[in-house]
Amino acid sequence: MSQYVALAAEQLRCPDVSVGRALSLSNDVLMARGKVFGFLKDDRLVVKLPASRIARLIEAGAAIPFRSGGRIMKEWVAVAAPTAPDVDSWRTLLDDARVYVASANPALRRRTRQKGTTA
């Protein structure tokens, strides 16, 4: 947990990063531009990343899918605490998740989804 606290403090020094409370998760969460990008749950770091990155992490055995309310959450993965030689892995994941969430454009995603579903 102390690794997460130190990394969360680092993230909070970045512009547009804050701590919020996710009622559905009963957790404090890290947010970028008001969107959740990471938190600690059951001693695992949970981060939001692109689906392709999530698939690679799971395939490599570095992470497991994150479940909330009994269902797998799209674009979310849970990663066990790093061991001594790999202490920067959580830092990298948090950095990548922050950048991914902060740069996400929901309006663009909606338009793309609508294009793909029209006949």
- 63-110 pLDDT, tens per residue? 999 998 889 998 999 999 887 666 689 999 999 999 999 987 655 444
Domain that holds residue 37: 2-117
| CATH number for the domain that contains residue 80 | 3.90.1150
Q: Check residue 119 and give its pLDDT.
A: 35
d(CA 35, CA 82): 25
Separation CA 88–CA 83 (nearest Å): 10
Query: What pTM was estimated for this model as a whole?
Result: 0.82
Q: What is the pLDDT of residues 3-53, one digit of tens each?
A: 889 999 999 999 899 998 776 666 789 999 999 999 999 899 999 999 999
> What is the predicted pLDDT for the residue at 24?
61
Q: Cα–chain-centroid distance for residue 67? A: 13
**The two three-digit tokens of residue 5, written as one number:** 């606290």
Q: How many domains does the chain have?
A: 1
